[in-house]
Structure 1
Amino acid sequence: MTAQVEGWKNVVNSMRNLGDLDDGGKVTFFAVTHLARGLVRMTWWVKPATDINDPRLEVGLRFNSKEDFTYLIRHQGVQLGKKLRLKKNDKIRCVAYCKELLRTLRDIHKCGGASYNHGCANAKYFSRLFKDDMRVFPGMTVAQFVEKVHWELKITISVGKAKRAMARARRLIEGSTVVLATRHLSDGTDKFNEIYIAYEACKTSFKQHCRSIIGLDGCHLKGQGKGILLTAIGLDPNDQIFPVAYGVVAIENIDTWSWFLNLLVKDLDIKDSSKWRFISDRQKGLINVVRSCCHNAEHCFCVWHMHNNFKKVFSSPTLKDKIWEATRATNVYAFDKVMKEVKGLNTAAHTWLTAHTAKESWSRAFFGFEANCDILVNNISECYNRVLLFAREKPLYGMLECICMYLMDKFTSRRKMAAKLEDCVGPKIRRKLEKIKEKIGDCMVREAGEWVYQVNTKFNEQFVDDI
């Protein structure tokens, strides 16, 4: 066990040293082999657009992402006619081999080639390789696609794989989701009813880099055309708002929210809803819609809205402080302690809190760990609605154009900011970590077993942490 821990420490230290040498401020995937005495030899960056056919493979070659590395491996296998395989492929490592696991780079193959249904050439690989051809010739048939693959790559694929590759390529080309719904009138004409928009860049980036938490909210349009703007907002790795999708509907009710949320679930490929969390205020119909569309997902309510309803009945500042203290409690013991104090101050207020909403919807002590987020208010949606106030005063078409321009400008500025970062985390996250470091001195930790610790605080509190 000790030797294994020391080995992982060496790997982590090596990766940390590599990260210190990287002045680009971006996440890097390294194809690295440890040489004698723990030294690591580094070379150049791979540029997928130009180096895909001649990558000059050697130890220490650096990639922008693991996807670029796996794509290059598949492409090289197809070009060489070899069945390369990814033996290990997870978040921290990716090992490619041909028939046997190679610990060093060996560019001489003794295996037989492959000409039919090549193992490296799957539908995902073909969709990325022939995406531009599908864009230029959108009417390409399956037979033409199979023939093109045969002449360019010298391999033959099945009709089923060709269909899957072409369908995936079309999704990559079309990308964005725009659904326009109309209402049929008695005179035989159709009238605009609602629209849903989710850009491909927003969907893909959110699924790859953001946590599984979404803020849902609706706000009124201020222009001549009245209606409701529905929004779905996430959080990026720097805890900044990340717009995912938005839509315009006539009114806010169960039907419109169900229509919007069903499209959102489809776009984000939410299969296991137990790993997702939605946060909103107690809007009409939204509670039942979330329960029906994602019945296993967490649905948290904005504490700020809950307190506004609470103070209409109980306006005591002391009770207000107690509510926020119970909301920020991170364990059941601290939550129960505060609730007992609330009951001692005002029994009716305690009854209102327990009967008005479930404690799992507004206290951190009962939040799950899948979303990796503990926000208590829906400020991510409120801030987005406030930013779009100027756009909501325009006609429908002008408003949609303004939102599109705003998203392009916002993502461009963040991309430039990320390129200048020298830290492995964002500036907002770094500030949070520094605040947490200051609180470490208030705790005393004792090891009670393997991965089990006893934590004592300066407030004479004691907890058991089983990690």
Structure 2
Amino acid sequence: MSDEASFQIKSLKPVHKCARNYKLGSMVTYAWIGSHYTREFLLRQKMSVRKLRTAVSQKFGIHVSVGQCRRAKKYELQLIDGTIVEHYAKLWSYAEEIRRSNLGSTVKLDVNHMPDGKNYFSKFYVCFDALKKGWKEGCRKIIGLDGCFLKGICKGELLCVVGKDENNGIYPIAWAVVCVENKENWRWFLDLLIDDLGLNLGYGYSVISNQHKGWIEAVKELLPYVEHRQCAKHISQNLRKRYSGAQYESIFWKACKATTEVDFKVAMKELEVLDPSAHQYLMDKDPKTWSRAYFQPGRCCDVVENGMLESFNAVIVDARKKPIITMLEELRMYMMERGLRHYQVLPSGLNQFEVRGTTDAYEVDLEERTCSCKLWQLNGVGCVHSVAAISFMNRDVESYVDKMFSSITYMKAYKFRLAPMNGSNLWPATGYSPPLPPVHRTMPRRPATKRKRDTTETPNQSSKKSKITTQTQNKGKEQVKGVAKALNQDDEGNQSNAVNDGGAVNDGGEAVNELHVQQDYDEVELTPLELDALANGEPSQVHVQEQEARETPLATLLKKIRRKKSERIIKLKLGKKVSGADALGNSEAKPVTLE
């Protein structure tokens, strides 16, 4: 009824003999589909569109389109995560909630003020108090900095700083969301990070990076005394692009992992003998930033690759596809869960003695905890020489372990807890104007959602698209061959030299070509001027007219075949004119008169 929440049946057929109709998908809306699968999306936000389509067909017996399922998934995810405008509007309240629940945490939100009075998002930085205290008391004095792009509806870059704990695990310290990765944003990020970690000017600390141009300039200005390490993997990939060969890469890693200057120079001398230009290329990269032989001791870390950042990016790859607050919350919850895991201290030992090998000898001082190979001073764990000496002296290995690797120091990194937070409905209200999403930056080409693979990386197996392309190309080649073969045969299947390039048809049904294109080139009469022009590489009038007459796609397919055939015949005719030889090369034959 129109004024009631009910309906009235006017006609009823209790017995139905017709088959069930599955083509009722057009009557279904995407909102109706999404409302029936809210629980599934809460449990599995990665549910594919095709799986959703199959589930609807099996549950309700109707066929819906892929577009309906795609819109239903998007609609339901927006209900779960909130729209993009709502997310950015809640950033002020989210920052205030972090400060309230985690006292001492640093949260910074920057917006761009427009002349029309609107505020657009610019940057968001967060460093929890528990993480910065844990890094100061229980992690090594080395950090890695890198940026990765966001893959979801929120565009921009995620800047991260990751440390290394005593168990060689990654220790995320702070992160920031910016619109673009450049020098200005890196400088803003480092300014806040230096204040949180107390890095001063970089004395006694090391930083490893992937050589982003804006990042390098910002570090030189703000941390002039920090030890800068380059990622050896990126240098190796660039070296492979310029100088292909396994020997180049082998020598590079030998020089990279050399712990003494003598071993480094031996490896570089080997490279100089192999290729002086490759040697100069690596020397221009400043070996003090990528070789262990020049690393400063006291960091208890001898890594030459930025693997801790790559590992962290792999952990948060799914979070980077979500709206900004959902992504930030997943990062926070990841660190909360990580602090509750049970960790074991990695046992290791140090050395003090003189240890001789088959061809070399090293001096070890147990009291000073040093070894002339420098490996002990670099990683704080020890080397094979120290283990041999401790075994010889029958001493306790743990007594020589650096305090950085003790369980007490290890637990200091995780003794500070991240306080729980209220939901968005209980976040405190602020007097700030809610920011709008950042101004859309129109980029060329289709937006990329996958990381661009380096040319030196091993590609994945051939995709379905490439296989289809190959099959299509092969099928096209077979069709061209079939057409060419058919054109060289008459109706009875016999070989024929007559080819009709789209000529006219007379009343009797016979093909007519005004330019006599269907004739064989042996029957074409050429004037001496035309022969001279062809000998000089100029096309004749007959060939120019013939080329202009070719308008059908069929003639285009035979272009290469006709060209090769014409060249062969012209050579034969020129040979007759010059030497007086026949087509078989017999000199006794009389010269051919071309007039």
Question: TM-score scaled to structure 2, two decimals?
Answer: 0.43
Q: What amino acid does structure 1 have at the position aligned with 2:149? A: H
In structure 2, distance between residues paired with 1:324 and 1:433: 26
Note if 1:359 corresponds to 2:284.
no
Q: What amino acid does structure 2 have at the position aligned with 1:407? A: M
Note if 1:212 corresponds to 2:141.
yes
Q: Superposed, which structure 2 residues align to 1:196-235 within 5 Å?
A: 196-235=125-164
Question: What's the CA shift string for 1:22-51, capped at 9, x where partnerless?
Answer: xxxxxxxxxxxxxxxxxxxxxxxxxxxxxx
The aligned counterpart of 1:130 is: none
The aligned counterpart of 1:397 is: 325
The aligned counterpart of 2:340 is: 412
In structure 1, distance between residues paired with 2:280 and 2:267: 14
Q: Superposed, which structure 2 residues align to 1:114-263 within 5 Å?
A: 174-263=103-192
Note if 1:386 corresponds to 2:327.
no
In structure 1, distance between residues paired with 2:195 and 2:334: 25
Q: Give the 3 Å change call, closer, same or farther, for CA 318–291 of structure 1 in structure 2.
A: same
In structure 2, distance between residues paired with 1:199 and 1:352: 42
Contact 2:205-2:226 at 8 Å conserved across structures:
yes
- Secondary structure in 2 matching 1:389: coil
The aligned counterpart of 2:231 is: 302
Gaps of 5+ in 1: 1-169, 457-461, 463-467
In structure 1, distance between residues paired with 2:184 and 2:300: 31
Q: Give the 3 Å change call, closer, same or farther, for CA 368–454 of structure 1 in structure 2.
A: closer
In structure 2, distance between residues paired with 1:335 and 1:261: 33
Question: What's the CA shift string for 1:300-337, capped at 9, x where partnerless?
Answer: 11000111111110111011010000000001000001
Shift of 1:412: 1.1
Gaps of 5+ in 2: 1-98, 374-384, 386-595
The aligned counterpart of 1:279 is: 208
In structure 1, distance between residues paired with 2:252 and 2:311: 23
In structure 2, distance between residues paired with 1:304 and 1:396: 31
In structure 1, distance between residues paired with 2:273 and 2:153: 52
Contact 2:144-2:308 at 8 Å conserved across structures:
yes
Contact 2:356-2:362 at 8 Å conserved across structures:
no
Q: Give the 3 Å change call, closer, same or farther, for CA 176–316 of structure 1 in structure 2.
A: same
- Secondary structure in 2 matching 1:412: coil
Q: Give the 3 Å change call, closer, same or farther, for CA 245–339 of structure 1 in structure 2.
A: same
Question: What's the CA shift string for 1:397-443, capped at 9, x where partnerless?
Answer: 11011111111111111xxx14xx5xxxx13xx2x659x99xx7847
The aligned counterpart of 1:289 is: 218
Q: Give the 3 Å change call, closer, same or farther, for CA 455–270 of structure 1 in structure 2.
A: closer
- Secondary structure in 1 matching 2:252: helix
Contact 1:198-1:244 at 8 Å conserved across structures:
yes
- Secondary structure in 1 matching 2:125: strand
Question: What's the CA shift string for 1:69-121, capped at 9, x where partnerless?
Answer: xxxxxxxxxxxxxxxxxxxxxxxxxxxxxxxxxxxxxxxxxxxxxxxxxxxxx
Q: What amino acid does structure 1 have at the position aligned with 2:115? A: S
Q: Give the 3 Å change call, closer, same or farther, for CA 344–255 of structure 1 in structure 2.
A: same
Shift of 1:271: 2.4
The aligned counterpart of 2:255 is: 326
Q: What amino acid does structure 2 have at the position aligned with 1:369? A: P
Shift of 1:451: 6.8
Greater relative contact order (Cα < 8 A, sep 6+): 2
Q: What amino acid does structure 2 have at the position aligned with 1:290? A: V
Q: What amino acid does structure 2 have at the position aligned with 1:266? A: D
Question: TM-score scaled to structure 1, two decimals?
Answer: 0.54
Q: What amino acid does structure 2 have at the position aligned with 1:183? A: N
> Which aligned segments of 4 or more residues in structure 1 are displaced greater than 3 angstroms?
170-173, 440-448, 450-456
Shift of 1:389: 0.4
Contact 1:444-1:455 at 8 Å conserved across structures:
no
Shift of 1:288: 1.2
In structure 2, distance between residues paired with 1:452 and 1:230: 38
Q: What amino acid does structure 2 have at the position aligned with 1:219? A: C
- Secondary structure in 2 matching 1:372: coil
Question: What's the CA shift string for 1:343-391, capped at 9, x where partnerless?
Answer: 0011110011112x11110000000013221100000001001100010
Q: Give the 3 Å change call, closer, same or farther, for CA 185–392 of structure 1 in structure 2.
A: same
Q: What amino acid does structure 1 have at the position aligned with 2:104? A: G
The aligned counterpart of 1:372 is: 300
In structure 1, distance between residues paired with 2:159 and 2:185: 9
Larger Rg computed on CA atoms? 2
- Secondary structure in 1 matching 2:339: helix
In structure 2, distance between residues paired with 1:260 and 1:266: 10
When the two chains are superposed, the root-mean-square deviation of aligned CA atoms in Å is: 2.9
More strand by share: 1
In structure 1, distance between residues paired with 2:138 and 2:216: 27
In structure 2, distance between residues paired with 1:342 and 1:173: 54
Q: What amino acid does structure 1 have at the position aligned with 2:290? A: W
In structure 1, distance between residues paired with 2:364 and 2:307: 39
Contact 2:105-2:126 at 8 Å conserved across structures:
yes
The aligned counterpart of 2:245 is: 316
Shift of 1:445: 5.3
In structure 1, distance between residues paired with 2:157 and 2:109: 15
- Secondary structure in 1 matching 2:299: coil
Q: Give the 3 Å change call, closer, same or farther, for CA 451–183 of structure 1 in structure 2.
A: closer
Contact 1:230-1:249 at 8 Å conserved across structures:
yes
Q: What amino acid does structure 2 have at the position aligned with 1:364? A: R
Q: Give the 3 Å change call, closer, same or farther, for CA 214–447 of structure 1 in structure 2.
A: closer
- Secondary structure in 1 matching 2:189: helix
Question: What's the CA shift string for 1:47-70, capped at 9, x where partnerless?
Answer: xxxxxxxxxxxxxxxxxxxxxxxx
Contact 1:209-1:237 at 8 Å conserved across structures:
yes
Q: What amino acid does structure 1 have at the position aligned with 2:216? A: I
- Equivalenced residue count is 272
In structure 1, distance between residues paired with 2:307 and 2:113: 38
Q: What amino acid does structure 2 have at the position aligned with 1:214? A: I
Question: What's the CA shift string for 1:196-238, capped at 9, x where partnerless?
Answer: 0101110000011111100000001000111100000000111
